[in-house]
């Protein structure tokens, strides 16, 4: 026992001193890269770990410096980092939804670098409003009288309900009391907004007479929700927005229409099913229409409320609006994104979300054929298979688009998936019927993908 302790003591005395480690070439590099204080702290931590569990052979000063430098570099890697989204879901909520257009990136960068006329009227030098920058554009693109922008569509719905139905009834069809991923449940949002939920109709069928019977002196608004993430099929009936708007107006209340994703473009142009456009919802007579910024619209996270001037003015007087507003960076990105919609012919070229959506399967398959010979995974077989991409984020829920994937088969696919996730730019695919599928629909930079894959560890 005593003898053992003595050897241990002798061993530890052989450990290099902090100063000696720092003076070496690698120690100097660590100090230059991360600052003297952090380099010193990292070396101390490495030495402390060695003292706590001494290895058989103690490392020299350079080894200690190298371990410390590696730890510093590891700590520098962000967990919020770019990935290759090869899941086949174009708007993947967990992967940040829409990829922004270059124009939006440039606009956001510009807004970040300096002061901007955010709430400043450049014409008269007086105070302006942050919504002013987007009002005209949103009016032009949706046909609405006015518009306001908040943090996301959940916030838009919350704000609309709180403004018009706090302490009053919000009339909504049972078939539209939806839950959206990430714990957004319509009844709960209503409660938080202070609105009393007045459910009408049944799960599969709701008629005008159901709404008519529910509207009364306590009605704050009628809410129509686009059931964006599921579809009821069979014996169903819902009241069209146009009829609901007419009823609401006859009964002196208003109609709010939550479109969820909503879109500003006619998706049938891109070979997709029809998704209600914001302009259509406005034309159908809703007083307020709410929709998302980062779903099919292809912009940053945001919530839009467009509609009648008087209704938007009331929303803007709600103090809650202040808590939900967006910053200059996002406003700049939104403006640049919206501008692209002025030329629908070039949308699929300039807006990544639509570019990915509209990419023909044959083109994706051609990419797969280019990549196949470059993707070598020892121990695994790789083939090209047809597959289906989905839009995601609750937009066009049952709609899929034909795509192509690299299909990887072999033992321990979970381990391979983990190795792909551990790459400098993590590659995220999906496992389907005992194959790891890399759906190439959203792959933009093939060369970067190949270079990244070459770094796959053998572990
Ligand atoms: C997605 C969605 C929302 C929430 O929008 P976010 O922008 O994600 O906050 C609200 N309503 C419907 C119908 C939706 O599909």
pTM (two decimals): 0.92
For the ranges 1-15, 115-129, 189-203, which has the lowest average pLDDT? 1-15
Residue nearest to atom 13 of ligand 1 (CA): 260
Give residue 292 CA to ligand 1 midpoint distance, Å. Answer: 6
CA distances from 58 to 12, 62, 126, 143, 172 (A): 8, 12, 70, 74, 71
**Both ends of the chain: CA-CA distance in Å?**
39
Give residue 358 CA to ligand 1 midpoint distance, Å. Answer: 23
- What pLDDT was estimated at residue 275? 83
- What pLDDT was estimated at residue 459? 58
The DSSP bridge pattern shows strands 303-307 and 288-292 to be: antiparallel
Closest ligand 1 atom to residue 302 Cα is: 7
Residues 6+ apart with CB under 8 A from 125: none
| Helical ranges in 233-289 per DSSP H | 241-250, 278-283
Residue nearest to atom 14 of ligand 1 (CA): 260
For the ranges 1-5, 73-77, 180-184, 449-453, which has the lowest average pLDDT? 1-5
- Is residue 152 in contact with ligand 1, taking CB distance under 6 Å? yes
Q: Does the pLDDT of residue 272 top 90, yes or no?
A: no
Average confidence (pLDDT) over 256-273: 89
Pocket probe for ligand 1: among 172, 175, 184, the residue whose CB has the most ligand atoms within 8 Å is 184
Give residue 277 CA to ligand 1 midpoint distance, Å. Answer: 15
Q: Does the pLDDT of residue 51 top 80, yes or no?
A: yes
For 414-443, what is each residue's pLDDT tens digit? Answer: 999 999 999 999 999 999 999 999 999 999
Give residue 90 CA to ligand 1 midpoint distance, Å. Answer: 16
SS3 195: strand
Angle at which helix 361-371 crosses helix 446-453, to 10 degrees, equals 40
Q: Does the pLDDT of residue 1 top 50, yes or no?
A: no
How many CB atoms lie under 10 A from the CB of residue 243? 15
Closest ligand 1 atom to residue 181 Cα is: 1
Decide: 356 and 100 in contact? Cβ < 8 Å.
no
Angle at which helix 328-340 crosses helix 132-142, to 10 degrees, equals 30
In degrees, rounded to 5, the angle at the alpha carbon of residue 280 between the alpha carbons of residues 279 and 286 is 90
- What pLDDT was estimated at residue 376? 85
Closest ligand 1 atom to residue 293 Cα is: 7
Decide: 392 and 431 in contact? Cβ < 8 Å.
no
CA distances from 374 to 368, 371, 377, 382, 451 (A): 10, 5, 10, 11, 10
Tell me phi and psi for residue 343, to 5 degrees: -125, 85
181 confidence band (pLDDT: 50, 70, 90): low
Residue nearest to atom 2 of ligand 1 (CA): 260
Task: Using only the alpha carbons of the chain, give its radius of gyration.
Answer: 28
- What pLDDT was estimated at residue 282? 98
- Is residue 303 in contact with ligand 1, taking CB distance under 6 Å? yes
């Amino acid at each position: 026992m005593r003898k053992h302790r003595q050897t241990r003591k002798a061993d530890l005395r052989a450990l290099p001193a902090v100063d000696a480690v720092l003076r070496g070439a690698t120690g100097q590099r660590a100090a230059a890269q991360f600052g003297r204080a952090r380099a010193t702290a990292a070396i101390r931590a490495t030495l402390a770990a060695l003292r706590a569990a001494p290895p058989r052979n103690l490392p020299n000063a350079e080894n200690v410096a190298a371990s410390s430098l590696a730890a510093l570099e590891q700590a520098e890697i962000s967990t919020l980092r770019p990935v290759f989204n090869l899941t086949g879901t174009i708007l993947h909520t967990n992967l940040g939804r829409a990829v922004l257009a270059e124009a939006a990136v440039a606009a956001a960068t510009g807004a970040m670098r300096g002061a901007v006329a955010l709430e400043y009227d450049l014409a008269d030098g007086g105070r302006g409003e942050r919504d002013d920058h987007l009002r005209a554009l949103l009016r032009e693109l949706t046909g609405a009288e006015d518009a306001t922008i908040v943090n996301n569509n959940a916030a838009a719905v919350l704000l609309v309900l709180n403004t018009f139905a706090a302490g009053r009834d919000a009339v909504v069809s049972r078939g539209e009391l939806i839950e959206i991923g990430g714990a957004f449940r319509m009844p709960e949002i209503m409660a938080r907004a202070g609105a009393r939920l007045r459910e009408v109709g049944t799960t599969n069928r709701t008629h005008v007479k159901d709404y008519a019977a529910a509207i009364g002196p306590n009605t704050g608004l009628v809410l129509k929700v686009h059931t964006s993430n599921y579809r009821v099929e069979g014996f169903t009936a819902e009241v069209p927005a146009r009829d609901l708007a007419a009823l609401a107006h006859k009964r002196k209340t208003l109609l709010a229409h939550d479109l969820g994703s909503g879109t500003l473009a006619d998706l049938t142009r891109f070979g997709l099913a029809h998704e209600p456009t914001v302009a259509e919802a406005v034309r159908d007579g809703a007083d307020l229409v709410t929709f998302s910024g980062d779903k099919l619209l292809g912009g940053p996270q945001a919530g839009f409320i467009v509609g009648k001037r008087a209704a938007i003015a009331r929303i803007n007087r709600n103090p809650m609006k202040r808590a939900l507003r967006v910053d200059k960076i996002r406003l700049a990105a939104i403006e640049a994104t919206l501008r692209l919609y002025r030329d629908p012919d070039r949308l699929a070229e300039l807006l990544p979300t639509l570019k990915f959506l509209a990419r023909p399967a044959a083109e994706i398959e051609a990419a797969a054929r280019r990549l196949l010979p470059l993707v070598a995974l020892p121990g695994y077989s790789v083939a090209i298979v047809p597959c289906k991409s989905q839009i995601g984020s609750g937009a066009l829920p049952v709609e899929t688009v034909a795509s192509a994937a690299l299909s990887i088969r072999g033992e321990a696919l979970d381990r391979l998936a983990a190795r792909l996730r551990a790459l400098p730019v993590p590659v995220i695919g999906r496992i389907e019927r005992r194959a790891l599928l890399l759906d190439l629909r959203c792959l933009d930079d093939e060369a970067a993908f190949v270079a990244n894959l070459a770094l796959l560890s053998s572990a």
